[in-house]
Structure 1
Amino acid sequence: MRSLNRLSAMAVKNLSSGKYADGGGLWVHIRNNGSGNWFFRFTIHGRRREMGLGAIGEVSLKEARDAADECRAVLRSGRDPIKERERARREAAKKQHLLADIATDAFEARKAELKDDGEAGRWFTPLAKHILPKLGKVPVEEIDQRDIRDTLAPIWHAKADTARKAMYRLEICLKHAAALGLEADLQACEKARALLGKQRHIVKSIPAMPWRHVPDFYEALGDDSITHLALRLLILTGVRSAPIRHIRQDQIDEDVWIIPAENMKGRKDATAEYRVPLSSEALAVIEKAERFERNGFLFANPLKGVLSDMAMSQHMKRAGLEYRPHGFRSSLRDWLAEETDAPHEVAEAMLGHTTGSRVVRAYRRTDFLEKRRVLLEHWAEHVTSRVGKKYRKRVRL
């Protein structure tokens, strides 16, 4: 009887349930349902072991015999085929650079550029939610435009802004991989955009209250609650909600509010503080807010931390308004454009925006504090109705 190659491909297809030897340690195990798998049986160091070689539907008889030959060669050298396969897999895994690892490394490399070292999670979130669940375990060198297209297609139009951010973050990761010397396709994202097509989603601006309606709303904020006071200060200063919620007593220097760079969106320079001139009305609001102070924060949450991001928005929703707190920045900007002669640079400085090229900004050292002081005082007069609905005088600087 032959010691090797006892089976044939046709015989394997017609075998009933049971275990059958092909010789030389190669066996096939057929189950009752007709499925089966190959395995290599061997003895090493006095211990009998069985090593799976794959299902019969995926591994042919010839492939199983080739695998068995390799196992016998390993045995002849005194090594365990199972342990050698595990070692080879570990070595292969070390050589793979998975996207999840590259993304984490890219994030770590950019933390210094991000607000609070990226602790808020906004930079990494689009990757974590929409890219890594599908591509995180894929070697970065194997990712192509089809992988990216299939990953982002479900949100490409439905959540256009999120998809755009996820694509941009992925592009950074691929560039980071290339910088590490890996063969990542730097054109994959651009090719994926071509496959996905132009986004149909139209970005909607945050609803902003018309500046002529602001006095009526401001007058309704009269109960001196923490939410009302925070909204009033937000309207008076034109500052985003995050700095308002995190305002501290030690940031107030007489009639100037000095906002640290880390509390300002887009200000990555640790020295780029933003000064806000405080109108007499704004100072009055701050004085009333002092009774809510805890640990230095003027708008402290009674339970923990500071006033929540949703508190002001929910107040406006409950009032039946479609407008949102952030929209008051647009209200102020429209008022500046329609009712004042403020130059573009001054008007943008009112909102904390930077204008001009890097060279222009390097030579322009002023933040227009005094001009902004005049404008914000007039804005306060408008919103408090001291000039009110009859206000028609154009402010000149």
Structure 2
Amino acid sequence: MRARNKLTALQIRHLESGKYNDGGGLWLQKRPDGGGQWFLRITVHGRRREMGLGGLQDVSLAEAREEADRWRSVVRANKDPIKERARIRREAEREDHTLASITDQAFRARKADLKGDGKAGRWLSPLNMHVLPKLGRVPIEMIDQQDIRNTLIPIWHDKVHTARKAMNRLDIVIRYAAAMGLDVDIQAVEKAKALLGRQRHVTRNIPAVHWRNVPTFYTSLSEPSVGNLALRLLILTAARTSEIRFCHESEIQDDVWVIPADRMKAGKEHRIPLPCQALELLDAAGTWQRNGFFFWNRRSVISDAAMSSIMKRREMEERPHGFRSSFRTWCAEATDTPREVAEIALAHSVGGKVEQAYRRTDYLDQRRDLMQSWADHVTGGA
């Protein structure tokens, strides 16, 4: 029988870099910086393998010997200890009931309901930013209203919408855990809200340029920069900034811009009839076009701030998203456009589920005339 326990703790502290045998297949590889790694040499099914047992800083000599004994017994049972350890870890992960683990499972269960399968990360971001750093490693069965209150109180009044989203997501995760059969308090979120109290928040609409002043602002965007062209298209189409940024040549079908469902906030395909001014603008944007995207800037599409920064530099309070309000107010005050047509032009849902099931039109022809009239107003043509 091979000799064992050749090393001592005192020897190990003074060993030079190199490999040292403690006996029975247990080895220590010492590094020049004083650190090291324990590993066990074993023969399994005729193959010699090396199994890491941890770093010298974390695993003592006595612990390394204990681990070596444990895995030698697995070898004697004619099993591969490396595969056996992986199996044990997988089983442990399946029993991982921390908030972080359950959040991941709940998110994967909801992916089909989220825009783009949740790849943008917006569903998880309130939890990743404000909850999981503090509670992620806590078993979900141990989380109560006090934990939630203490975690969210720093943002409860200052980041109202984010706090609400975090609460909503956390409630979904806890209810998912309850469905798994875990012993959680499904009322914990509601109790935490009671402890936090009413939020101090006054809703403030995004400032918008008055529709009468839109032509003047549009004319001021005369320099054919990529940001100006993108902002002009946003004004002409009443689209959202994200829809404009990722506008792709494959989405333009004759005079209609077809935005796929995975790029829309509501998760439904949206068609925008393009007025002649918008089609001319897309031709002009060809200078900036790369990889099929109309608004490309160096290595990617323009940033989310590219259009708003134009308005900020002019010290304007208004923001690009406000032009959707400018358009909608123009529809109400300067035209006799039916409400449902104006709302669908903004990709808003109109009516309940039953009404939507029976109304199988997006009023494309009516909206074609509407968008041309808006473009004529914006460009001074009417």
- Range into which the TM-score falls when normalised by the shorter chain: 0.7 to 0.9
Distance in 2 separating the partners of 1:170 and 1:203? 24
Distance in 2 separating the partners of 1:331 and 1:376? 13
Q: Residue type matched to 2:116 in 1?
A: D
Within-5 A mapping of 1:195-344? 195-267=195-267, 272-301=268-297, 303-344=298-339
Taking structure 1 as the reference length, the TM-score comes to 0.72
Kept after mapping to 2: 8 A contact 1:248/1:298? yes
1:92 Cα deviation from its structure 2 partner: 9.3
Kept after mapping to 2: 8 A contact 1:209/1:323? yes
2:154 partner SS: helix
Within-5 A mapping of 1:67-106? 97-106=97-106
Q: Residue type matched to 2:133 in 1?
A: P
Q: Residue type matched to 1:279 in 2?
A: P
Deviations 1:89-108 (A, max 9, x none): x9999756111100011111
Q: Residue type matched to 1:365 in 2?
A: R
Distance in 2 separating the partners of 1:210 and 1:188? 45
Distance in 2 separating the partners of 1:180 and 1:204? 40
Q: Residue type matched to 2:379 in 1?
A: T
Deviations 1:268-316 (A, max 9, x none): xxxx321100111111111111221111111111x21111111111111
Taking structure 2 as the reference length, the TM-score comes to 0.75
Q: Residue type matched to 2:320 in 1?
A: P
Question: What runs of 5+ residues in structure 2 fail to find an aligned partner?
Answer: 1-65, 71-88
Distance in 2 separating the partners of 1:285 and 1:274? 20
Kept after mapping to 2: 8 A contact 1:159/1:201? no
Matched, 1:376 2:375: no
Q: Residue type matched to 1:98 in 2?
A: T
Q: Which residue of 2 is the match for residue 353 of structure 1?
A: 348
Q: Residue type matched to 1:333 in 2?
A: R
Q: Percent identity?
A: 56
Distance in 2 separating the partners of 1:304 and 1:294? 9
Kept after mapping to 2: 8 A contact 1:346/1:371? yes
Larger radius of gyration: 1
Kept after mapping to 2: 8 A contact 1:278/1:376? yes
Q: Which residue of 1 is the match for residue 177 of structure 2?
A: 177
Q: Which residue of 1 is the match for residue 53 of structure 2?
A: none
Deviations 1:243-266 (A, max 9, x none): 111111121111111111111112
Distance in 2 separating the partners of 1:93 and 1:114? 26
Distance in 2 separating the partners of 1:248 and 1:296? 5
Matched, 1:362 2:354: no
Cα RMSD for the two superposed structures: 2.3
Q: Residue type matched to 1:292 in 2?
A: W
1:116 Cα deviation from its structure 2 partner: 2.3
1:154 Cα deviation from its structure 2 partner: 1.1
Q: 1:120–1:92: structure 2 CA closer, same or farther, 3 Å change rule?
A: closer
Q: How many aligned residue pairs are there?
A: 300
Q: Which residue of 1 is the match for residue 135 of structure 2?
A: 135
Deviations 1:189-245 (A, max 9, x none): 111111111101223221111111101000001112111111111000001011111
Deviations 1:301-346 (A, max 9, x none): 1x21111111111111112211111110011011111111112211
2:101 partner SS: helix
Q: Which residue of 1 is the match for residue 194 of structure 2?
A: 194
Q: 1:234–1:95: structure 2 CA closer, same or farther, 3 Å change rule?
A: closer
Distance in 2 separating the partners of 1:323 and 1:252? 29
Q: 1:280–1:138: structure 2 CA closer, same or farther, 3 Å change rule?
A: same
1:155 partner SS: coil
Distance in 1 separating the partners of 2:107 and 2:93? 22
